[in-house]
Structure 1
């Protein structure tokens, strides 16, 4: 997989301490996402239904997220994605597929609606996982 090689190369280019600025890290991460999600509208149904394929997507994306967020390799995939502000690739593929299907039917789903839906599902996924519970901040009631 070309995206996996690009993510590995990104890891070599960008050490956790020092290295390129955050904007350059985000730019290189977008290159990895472009390679990872190429043709997602075609293969998303198949890939998201197979656990092994979903794990490969997560591993590739985690490699990039660790470098963007400057995390150590012991940080879980969910926590690294949250810290890097990268929604999981399988959610992005589903969103792209829905937009493409709607476009084919003659309706348009605004990009904003797609992003809101992805964030809503990601939030539910984040709250239900036990992997990275230490990184979650408890809700604090304020008096505003």
Structure 2
């Protein structure tokens, strides 16, 4: 979708959430693969392109700046967060929501 005169922000956000869901499906198992440059080179641009479209910015802006404007985490940080959540879910007494909130705060810092 073009940045100018395209679809509404809500539609862009919906499509971006679909992209994020597809990219992060089963990420707790394959998060280690993002440490290699090749797999990050394949998945990264798709994630960044959807963030660019939601934020309605040009492609010359850095990935970190797009994530701040878009209000999300970079793919590598998101993968690490989801993997940690998966590992901690079995060994903690916290509820899922409390664990998710705690891990998000840890990821942001």
| Fold shared per TM-score above 0.5 | yes
Deviations 1:61-102 (A, max 9, x none): 111011001111222222222221221111111111111111
- Aligned residue-pair number: 106
What TM-score comes out, normalization by structure 2 length? 0.85
Asked if 1:61 is matched to 2:50, the reply is no
Q: What is the RMSD computed on CA atoms of the aligned residues?
A: 1.7
Deviations 1:85-129 (A, max 9, x none): 221111111111111111233544611111111211xxxxxxxxx
Tell me the distance in 2 between the aligned counterparts of 1:72 and 1:106: 43
What TM-score comes out, normalization by structure 1 length? 0.66
Matches within 5 A, 1:28-107: 28-45=15-32, 47-107=33-93
Q: Which runs of 5+ in 2 are unaligned?
A: none
Tell me the distance in 1 between the aligned counterparts of 2:59 and 2:81: 28
Q: Tell whether the 8 Å contact from 2:63 to 2:74 is kept in structure 1 after alignment.
A: no
Q: Which has the larger radius of gyration?
A: 1
Residue 17 (structure 1) aligns with? 4
